[in-house]
Structures are given as C-alpha cells and as structure tokens.
Amino acid sequence: MATASAPATSLLSLLYRSYPNVVPSDSTEPDLPSLSPKIFPEAAYTDAEQDEINQWLSQSSDLAQALKKSETEGISKLLDIVNAHLATRTTVLGAKPSVVDIALYALLGPVVEKWSPEERTGESGYHHIVRHVDLVQNAPLFSLQIPEEEKIKIDVNDVRAAPKFAAPAEGENGGKKKKEKKGTGAGGEKEMVVGRGKNADKEQANKSVVDVAKDKVQEVVDSVTGAITGTPPRREKKEKKPKQQKAPATPAAPLSPALIDLRVGHILRAINHPNADSLYVSTIACGDAPGSDNTTQDEATGLTVRTVCSGLNGLVPLEEMQGRKVVTVCNLKPVTMRGIKSAAMVLAASPKDDDSHAGPVELVNPPEGAEAGDRVFFEGWGDGEPEKVLNPKKKIWETFQPGFTTTDSLEVAFDSGAVPQLNKEGEGSTASSTPIVGKLVTKSGGVCTVKSLKGATVR
C-alpha cells in the first residue's frame, strides 16, 4: 500500500492558520492535549474523554514515526486500529470534535491522497479513514482553513466494495459460532438422491440426442421406401393438444396499509457510512429465510441479515443504534445509497413540520418480548398479505405513510383519515368497518411506541 510521511509542521501550520486566537503563528510546540477546549469551547470534555484524547495523540505519534521509517507492518497495524475505531464513530470521540481529529487529518491526508481507489474503498480498503479525512477537511464543525486546491480529492460515489464488519474475537458472546456445512444431513454427509449418480443428467441428455437421431433416420427410410414403391411415407397424426384456458386474473389486493411489509428487526451493529456523513449502515436481522432476496449471512452470528442505510447520523446517537430492536419496512425496492445497497428502512418519528429534517428524531420501539421477524400491523388492517416488493409506480408507501403517526399516549398508529384514497366511494368502503386510528401492534397485541414525540409523523 502506498504511504507518505506527513511533516510534523503540517499540523502546526494548519492549527495557526485555522485558529489564530488559540495557536499564534510564532508557536513552535503547542500543548496539543490542552487545545481541544480552546478550539471547541462549546464542547465540554469529561476526564475520560481527555484521557482518550491523550491516548490517541500518542497513537498518532506512533503512526507518524512508523510512516517516517516506512515500517510497512507497523503502519498497516496502526491503520487497521484507526479504521476500526472510526467505523462506529463520526469523530474520534464519537460525535464531539477534538484536536485528535485534526492531528489525524494532517497525518493521514497525504497518505490517503496517494492511495488508489482500490486501496481507499476496495475489498481491504480503509473506508472509514477516507470518510473521516473528507469530513474533517469539509465540515463546518472543524472550520479548517484549507484552500480547495489543497484538499484531498475524494469521490464519495466511488465505492469499490462495501466495508466489512469485524467479527468478534474468540470468546466474545460465547465464542464464534461454528458454521454448518451446506447441503449436509444430520451426520454431516452430503445428501444423495436414490437412483441418480453424478452422471445422471449427462446420460439423460445423451439419451435424448440418440432418440432424436433415430427419429430422423426413420424419416429418411420412410421417404426412400415411398419413392421406390410409389406410396407416400407414413406420417403419424399428431394429436391436437387442447387449448389451455387462461387462468382468471388475480384480483387486485384491497387498498390497505397491510400491503406494506412491517416487521420487527434486530440491529446487530451499525457503523458510519464510509462515504456519507448523514448515513448509518446497519446490519439487521429481519427474520428472513436463508438465501432470501437482498439478504446475506452475517459472518459473526450466522444469521440471515439485511444491510440498511439510514439517514439518522447526527439525529440519533450511534450508540443507540447498537444491538436494539426496531421496526423495519422490508418490501421497498432496494436502493443503492452512495455505493452501498440498502434493502430495508428503519421507522422513526419526527415532528410533522420537520421539513428540513433537523430533528428531533426517535426510533420506533417494538413491544417488549418481540422477536426479529415478527410481523407488525395496524389494528383493523391486519388482514391480507404484504406484497413481495412494492411497485414504485403504484406509490403504495407514499399513499399510506401520511397516515403513520403517534398518539398522545406515545403509541404509533395509522390514521386512515389522513389517506384520501381510503375515503373515496367504493375504493375506501372497507374503511367504514375499520377504526379511524389503529395502533401498530404485533400478533401478541403488544403496541409499538416512541419515547416522547406526540402527534409526530413516522417514516
């Protein structure tokens, strides 16, 4: 992997160019551990956070020495540590800015600049380091004074491979789960089909070819015999097959929010999207059968999971996205978001007038005891089956989402009065027998809730 050493003076020049009131131009050796509260006075740092700043400044110094000496093994090891740390954090401290972010930028910016696209976001790339460099040089949070021509050129849409999640070390969560052999029986041996060997298909194919050849030879013999005897060649009358009647068209499913596949999901882990500061990338178990469309097998747990991109970064703390139950929409058409395919959506509540998506935002909580894959539906609208994939042209989600709301009791509900299509003559006649407001529940009757937002929109 291409490397480049970063001169120690680059950090110093960046600091006094960006924060002249804190680091004057005649500074030679500023006290880095003490700079964070001065540069970012609005952020309050705990003793634990200050200790973490000191540790990462030391780590940064070790990386600088390794780069200077071109110690390939040491560089790779330290880059792995930084990349893994940033996978679950927006900044080094999580969300707060600190001088460590600037120190890492000054050190790693020249390194990232020399990396190829494959080294940046390939199968073994450092996705999260690249994302952090782009954040620090552009985010108003840091307000670094860097001319555009000096910034590291990063194409946020050029993602060669989705970032891999690190599997837990041996011993964590009861140790690694043993992978079962695919296509094996109870004794671990491959299942055999009686009467079929490995060449059965080939023999069947060859047999068909022979039969065809025999038919052709017989046709030639009949033609020659007919020419000699003056009798026409025999031809077997083919029986006309009765015309198959077309199956009657399947009647369209009644217009209902039950067409939307709502399920309990279990977020195994969530990380920052490597190329979008507003997105999280979550690994979510939604109860899918192994091999289902748009799913993969999680290496760490063996579970069948979906990868989901959510625009919640900066609205919901990343730590609240870890190891928790949520409500997911599982039959929207998958979309690729900044290079990563997203196969579901996480439901969250926000104020109805929040057109700018500024928050607050609260995740929808399934009832206690709900399991991943449990179906979730609105009371009075539980009949019928969800469509396998919602046709974007029919706008089923867009039709019903305006009715997704929260009550004064902080329960998630569907207000059919907010969906004009349900109140039309004939088409909405079924609505008269259903409640105007139906709670979002599981089969056991437990209700989905939010933390504090009343009369909010849910999407």
Domains and CATH numbers, the chain: 8-150 (1.20.1050.10), 257-458 (2.40.50.140)
Confidence check: pLDDT of 435 > 70:
no
Closest CA relative to residue 363, chosen from 319, 408, 406, 326: 326
Confidence check: pLDDT of 347 > 70:
yes
Question: Which pLDDT does position 431 carry in this prediction?
Answer: 46
Stated pTM of the model? 0.58
Rounded to an integer, what distance in angstroms lies between the CA atom of residue 74 and that of residue 321? 32
Low-confidence winner among 90-99, 193-202, 215-224 (lowest mean pLDDT): 193-202
Question: Which pLDDT does position 365 carry in this prediction?
Answer: 97
Rounded to an integer, what distance in angstroms lies between the CA atom of residue 48 and that of residue 200? 68
Question: Which pLDDT does position 66 carry in this prediction?
Answer: 92
pLDDT confidence band for 423 (50 / 70 / 90): confident
Tell me how far CA of residue 112 lies from CA of 1, 37, 108, in angstroms: 10, 28, 6
Question: Which pLDDT does position 215 carry in this prediction?
Answer: 57
Question: Which pLDDT does position 187 carry in this prediction?
Answer: 41
Confidence check: pLDDT of 342 > 60:
yes
Question: Which pLDDT does position 181 carry in this prediction?
Answer: 42
Average pLDDT in the 136-162 region?
90
Question: Which pLDDT does position 403 carry in this prediction?
Answer: 95
Rg of the Cα atoms in the chain: 31
* Cis previous bond, 420, omega within 30: no
Question: Which pLDDT does position 313 carry in this prediction?
Answer: 93
pLDDT confidence band for 406 (50 / 70 / 90): very high
The more confident residue out of 176 and 57 is 57
* 310 phi, psi to nearest 5 deg: -130, 135
- Report the mean per-residue pLDDT for the chain: 82
pLDDT more than 90, % of the chain: 59
Inter-helix orientation angle 72-86/47-69, to 10° = 150
Closest CA relative to residue 327, chosen from 407, 438, 404, 436: 404
Question: Which pLDDT does position 252 carry in this prediction?
Answer: 63
* 340 phi, psi to nearest 5 deg: -120, 130
Tell me how far CA of residue 268 lies from CA of 96, 160, 300, 324, in angstroms: 24, 24, 10, 7
pLDDT confidence band for 359 (50 / 70 / 90): confident
Question: Which pLDDT does position 325 carry in this prediction?
Answer: 97
pLDDT, tens digit, 9 for 90 and up, residues 3-50: 443 334 489 889 988 999 998 877 778 899 999 999 999 889 999 999
Confidence check: pLDDT of 368 > 70:
yes
The more confident residue out of 94 and 451 is 451
Question: Which pLDDT does position 384 carry in this prediction?
Answer: 82
The more confident residue out of 219 and 122 is 122
Rounded to an integer, what distance in angstroms lies between the CA atom of residue 457 and that of residue 406? 7
Question: Which pLDDT does position 421 carry in this prediction?
Answer: 87
